[in-house]
């Protein structure tokens, strides 16, 4: 699942570069029409996230599926065969976008999938016996910090999605997260979600929800990304990986990965190349401390830091080399002597050449 998210980010970068005019035209029009904030991911990033987290014979849902990019990568990870039939689900608020998602999935070989049009936060459409339907894999890149999303209704949600509280109406980030947690299969469900980095440290209601998330021991990994990976926004993003069935090695722990320096700069935007993606996911798969890149923290470690998930609060920095003041002074005067000697030599050459008088 995390593979899907990361691969999707990389592919979107490639799409942006190769088909810039089409992409800009479509997404600029959406922005002009005041539709949902669009934060596209590169496709390579999506595919990699799918590889890690989308169970090949499991059910997959994207509750904010947009044009279906992540679901397509999930299908590709499942080898695009009959094992995907009846196991791909998505919901999208915008009518036109949901229609494009259906067409997109069909053109990529998907069959017997369901993409429903509707507001996920106000009216989730995938239900089972009056309860929220659960899935093996839940993946999403929802609109960042969505406002006026229905906080009052969510506060008394009939599906119990306000597990750890109701966020304010100024940002739906933790509403999306809790919807996804509630949509995870209770035994083996997994989740990968892309959110703005503010969710890692905001206080107030968000801070309390984050505390409960950490104490639930569902959070497996936090990855911070470089800014500029998303079209139309410079907001720095992160990926949260959740798992209802952590391995014994991961229980009671969270892996923090700083991928903010793992990218390739280009003129229009930053991208993550295949090499960048491999480096990021090797850190996740290894689940070990790496100086300046990854840190495995216990829940107790996080408690001591007042439940902040800011990666920089945990990543260990490489020790800086300390130089003795006497050595600094010695090196300075040595360099000064060399400079004086070079100046005298240069002056002598000018005199010998007749350029200046002695």
Please give the full DSSP string across 1-49, using - where no structure is assigned.
-HHHHHHHHHHHHHHHHHSHHHHHHHHHHHHHTT-------BHHHHHHH
| Count of alpha carbons within 13 angstroms of residue 143, beta-carbon side | 21
Task: Give the integer Cα–Cα distance in Å for 303 and 214.
Answer: 9
Phi, psi of 257 (to 5 degrees): -125, 125
Task: Give the integer Cα–Cα distance in Å for 128 and 114.
Answer: 15
Per-residue pLDDT of the chain (358 residues; tens, 9 = 90+): 655 565 555 555 444 444 344 444 444 444 444 444 444 555 555 555 555 555 566 899 999 999 998 898 888 877 656 667 889 999 999 999 999 999 999 998 888 899 999 999 999 999 999 999 999 999 999 999 999 999 999 999 999 999 999 999 999 999 999 999 999 999 999 999 999 999 999 999 999 999 999 999 999 999 999 988 876 667 889 999 999 999 999 999 999 999 999 999 887 778 888 899 889 989 999 999 999 999 999 999 999 999 999 999 999 988 877 778 888 888 888 998 899 999 888 888 888 877 887 7
CA distances from 320 to 48, 261, 312, 317 (A): 35, 19, 17, 9
Q: Is 39 in contact with 194 (CB distance < 8 Å)? A: yes
The predicted pLDDT at position 109 comes to 84
| Opening angle at CA 206, ends 204 and 209, nearest 5 | 115
């Amino acid at each position: 699942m995390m593979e899907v998210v990361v691969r999707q980010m990389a592919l979107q970068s490639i799409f942006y570069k190769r088909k810039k005019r089409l992409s800009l035209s479509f997404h600029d029009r959406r922005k002009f029409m005041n539709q949902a904030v669009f934060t596209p991911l590169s496709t390579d990033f999506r595919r990699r996230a799918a590889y890690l987290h989308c169970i090949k014979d499991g059910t997959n849902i994207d509750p904010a599926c947009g044009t279906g990019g992540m679901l397509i990568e999930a299908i590709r990870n499942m080898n695009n065969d009959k094992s995907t039939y009846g196991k791909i689900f998505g919901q999208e608020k915008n009518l036109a976008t949901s229609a494009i998602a259906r067409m997109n999935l069909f053109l990529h070989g998907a069959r017997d999938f369901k993409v429903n049009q509707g507001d996920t936060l106000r009216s989730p459409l995938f239900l089972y016996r009056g309860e929220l339907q659960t899935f093996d894999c839940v993946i999403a890149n929802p609109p960042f910090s969505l406002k006026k999303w229905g906080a009052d209704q969510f506060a008394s949600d009939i599906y119990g999605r306000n597990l750890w509280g109701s966020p304010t109406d100024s940002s739906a980030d933790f509403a999306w997260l809790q919807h996804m947690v509630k949509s995870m299969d209770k035994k083996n469900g997994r989740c990968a979600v892309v959110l703005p980095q503010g969710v890692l440290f905001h206080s107030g209601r968000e801070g309390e929800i984050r505390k409960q998330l950490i104490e639930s021991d569902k959070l497996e990994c936090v990855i911070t990304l470089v800014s500029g990976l998303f079209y139309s926004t410079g907001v720095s993003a992160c990926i949260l990986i959740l798992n209802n069935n952590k391995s014994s090695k991961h229980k009671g722990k969270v892996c923090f990965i700083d991928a903010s320096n793992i990218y390739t700069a280009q003129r229009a935007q930053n991208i993550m190349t295949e090499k960048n993606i491999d480096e990021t996911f090797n850190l996740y798969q290894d689940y070990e401390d790496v100086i300046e890149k990854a840190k495995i923290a216990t829940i107790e470690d996080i408690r001591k830091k007042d439940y902040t998930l800011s990666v920089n609060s945990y990543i260990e920095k490489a020790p800086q080399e300390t130089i003795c003041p006497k050595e600094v002074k010695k090196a300075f005067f040595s360099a000064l002597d060399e400079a004086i000697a070079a100046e005298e030599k240069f002056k002598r050459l000018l005199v010998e050449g007749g350029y200046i008088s002695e």
